[in-house]
Amino acid sequence: MILSEKGTLLPPPRAAAGQSRWRSVGVLIIHAIAFAVVLRTSFELYQRLTAGEDPSASVAKCPQVEPLVPSQKSPALSGMEDYLQSDKFRDETVKRMAGAIRIPTQSYDDLGPVGEDSRWDTMYDFADYLKSTFPHVHSVLALEKVNTHGLLYTWKGTDASLRPTVFMAHQDVVPVAESTIDQWTHPPYSGHYDGKYIWGRGASDCKNNLIGILEAVELLIDAGFKPKRTVVLSFGFDEEISGRQGAGHLAQVLINRYGKDGAAVIIDEGGGIAESWGSTFALPGVAEKGYIDVDIIVRMPGGHSSIPPAHSGIGVASELVTLIEAHPYEPRFHAENPYLGLLECGNAYSPKFPSSLKKNLPWKESPCPAKKDKLALEAAKQGDATKYLFTTSLAVDVITGGIKSNALPERTRVLVNHRVNIGEKTSEVQAKIVQLAHRVAAKHNLTVQAFSDEPEVPSSIRLSSNSSLSLEPAPVTPTSVDGVTPFRVLSGTTRALYGESLLMGPALMTGNTDTRYYWDLTRHIFRYGPGYDPEQGFSLEGIHTVNEKVSVVAHTAGVQWYSLFIRNMDEADLA
């Protein structure tokens, strides 16, 4: 109906017969589409409800906390906050970072003991550089040198009843291969600054964290901040070669000093802030996969290669390698895997969360180990970087055998590296490789020596692993935000710095950090690189390879984060 000029209702103009019919058909189509949408939505809702999932369940499983800003204020602290955002600070921290990068603190796999191998001596230069660069830190904090090069700083708090906040980083970097130097855009130990990035080995792994922590402490001291809660800085020097001489000694000092679960929280290098499914997530690592190297030694009779057997030792070893690679581990979730929590976060908040994953949530562990994990299989389709967050990996990394072109190899060695899935054990890796070795051994009339201390024997396949290097998956850090918890403080600090559009999600490390030695010091271990540059995003580009660099925006944001976190932990109502 329409209104006449006098305000009375008039009937609509009559359409032609053909127009009327088409209009009726159109209305029917629209109604049919609307009905189908409603029916489908209702059916999906019914499926979710009958599966036991409330539509708000994912939100409940991924709560986001309010930004947390320190309540303690002073003109000096406000001035510090302004300075951290200034061009002056940017320029000064660039110089300090560049100076740290210029000291080539390389750690090599074949380094001898500290004090015996002169290649460790570069660590003296690095310690001297830190002392001259951060005078407040070295005048206020107590510095202990553990196993010569481990740097342990203690900023004693006024309340001894509060467990300390521990920050970790490592001084060493992976070596730069001589053959790759000409591939670097800027020389690897130049600390070159191009106006956006600082270039060089260690720029993002992890001298940025080490310098960032020291920058924050230096500025807090200068601003007159005196902590109630003790702050500990623990800097190892051989993380890149397993950390036994550095973190292995530092952790023991701290455990002896503060006792089991004696620290409130540990922050070490690790996950960062990244885009995922149309959302931006901060992804602190709350777990690490396990680790085991399996050494395979194939012993076969030697002889002249002009009269070879059907299969030489190298051939038999290759057959076993092929069999191992043909039986990879299947993607599988276990209830403690934190990536399940991240999936719930994506389901709750991310506009581009895949429907193929959504329909497999909530996840329920199958009582039958042989049954395939549908959610894990779907999630694995996102790529290997995702798949290996819930899959034991295997990589054949080393093979040696034979000494001469006319002599049959008597001893062939293969090393297979495994990173063990959360919820699984290194013993499961051993059992699987033993089974495969027996298949090859039976075919070639060889004996199998499986993970024993027996010496090698002729005509055998010997399996072994270095127990001092093997590692079970790390204990999973609690991520509850009920009440005042370390994860709540970490989350609130991050959202205070970057805004409430940033989401917090749990993540895990496929590699291992120095925190492997600190498990007894606290349950609250976060492997987290808090610096973030929205233009760059999270990138592993250059780490352990050519053109390592760090965004100055990300680096300065990291310093801000460390300073906020120290203050927030100081005010947190937890023991």
Q: Tell whether 4 is covered by a domain.
A: no
Contact yes or no for 391/372 (Cβ under 8 A):
no
Question: For residue 101, is pLDDT > 60?
Answer: yes
Tens digits of per-residue pLDDT, 433-469? 999 999 999 999 999 999 999 999 999 999 999 998 9
pLDDT, average across residues 197-201: 97
Q: Tell whether 189 is covered by a domain.
A: yes
Residue 544's pLDDT band, with cuts at 50, 70 and 90, is confident
Which CATH number do you get for residue 461?
3.30.70.360
The verdict on 168 and 251 lying in the same domain is yes
The verdict on 196 and 160 lying in the same domain is yes
Q: What is the number of domains present in the chain? A: 3
pLDDT in the model for residue 41: 38
Q: Which residue would you say has higher pLDDT here, 401 or 18?
A: 401
Residue of 569, 575, 559 whose CA lies nearest to 169? 559
Tens digits of per-residue pLDDT, 504-533? 999 999 989 999 999 999 999 999 999 999
Residue 73, Cα to own-chain centre: how many angstroms? 34
Contact yes or no for 203/101 (Cβ under 8 A):
yes
The verdict on 173 and 257 lying in the same domain is yes
pLDDT in the model for residue 42: 39
Which CATH number do you get for residue 481?
3.40.630.10
Residue of 289, 284, 339 whose CA lies nearest to 486? 284
pLDDT in the model for residue 499: 96
Question: For residue 11, is pLDDT > 80?
Answer: no
The verdict on 180 and 276 lying in the same domain is yes
Question: For residue 419, is pLDDT > 70?
Answer: yes
What is the pairing mode between strands 265-271 and 165-170?
parallel
Contact yes or no for 388/339 (Cβ under 8 A):
no
533 is catalytic: no
Residue 4's pLDDT band, with cuts at 50, 70 and 90, is very low
Residue 369's pLDDT band, with cuts at 50, 70 and 90, is confident
pLDDT, average across residues 8-36: 40
- Pick from 472, 501, 524: which residue ends a domain? 472
pLDDT in the model for residue 535: 87
pLDDT in the model for residue 313: 96
pLDDT in the model for residue 541: 72
- Pick from 443, 472, 501: which residue ends a domain? 472
The verdict on 413 and 351 lying in the same domain is no
Among residues of the chain, what percentage have pLDDT more than 70?
Answer: 89
Residue of 323, 305, 302, 320 whose CA lies nearest to 461? 320
The verdict on 379 and 444 lying in the same domain is no
The three-class DSSP label of residue 60 is helix
Tens digits of per-residue pLDDT, 285-334? 999 999 999 999 999 999 999 999 999 999 999 999 999 999 999 999 99
pTM of the model: 0.88
Q: Tell whether 206 is covered by a domain.
A: yes
Q: Which helix (H) or strand (E) holds 169?
A: strand 165-170
List the binding residues.
170, 205, 240, 268, 544
Structural domain that includes position 406: 290-329+392-472
Dihedral (CA of 337, 340, 341, 346) sign: positive
Question: For residue 28, is pLDDT > 60?
Answer: no
Dihedral (CA of 326, 327, 331, 337) sign: negative
pLDDT, average across residues 76-88: 97
pLDDT in the model for residue 536: 82
Q: Which structure tokens are listed for 496?
A: 């205070």
Q: Tell whether 306 is covered by a domain.
A: yes
535 is catalytic: no
Whole-angstrom distance between the N-terminal and C-terminal Cα of the chain? 72
Tens digits of per-residue pLDDT, 214-224? 999 999 999 99
The verdict on 247 and 294 lying in the same domain is no
486-498 and 552-571 helices, crossing angle to 10°: 140
List the binding residues for Zn(2+).
170, 205, 240, 268, 544
The verdict on 308 and 456 lying in the same domain is yes
pLDDT in the model for residue 427: 98
Comparing 16-25, 263-272, 406-415, which segment has the lowest mean pLDDT? 16-25
Question: For residue 43, is pLDDT > 90?
Answer: no
pLDDT, average across residues 55-64: 78
- Pick from 455, 472, 489: which residue ends a domain? 472
Cβ-based burial of 323 (10 A; exposed 0-12, middle 13-18, buried ≥19) = middle
The verdict on 486 and 549 lying in the same domain is yes
Q: Tell whether 67 is covered by a domain.
A: no
CA distance linking residue 115 with residue 119, whole number of Å: 9
Average per-residue pLDDT in the chain? 90
CA distance linking residue 561 with residue 70, whole number of Å: 12
Residue 56's pLDDT band, with cuts at 50, 70 and 90, is low
pLDDT in the model for residue 30: 39
The verdict on 400 and 547 lying in the same domain is no
Q: Tell whether 265 is covered by a domain.
A: yes
The verdict on 235 and 275 lying in the same domain is yes
Question: For residue 347, is pLDDT > 80?
Answer: yes
pLDDT in the model for residue 340: 96
Q: Tell whether 279 is covered by a domain.
A: yes
Q: Which of 239, 373, 514, 570 is catalytic?
A: 239
Contact yes or no for 102/211 (Cβ under 8 A):
no
Q: Tell whether 212 is covered by a domain.
A: yes
The verdict on 283 and 294 lying in the same domain is no
Comparing 13-17, 371-375, 457-461, which segment has the lowest mean pLDDT? 13-17
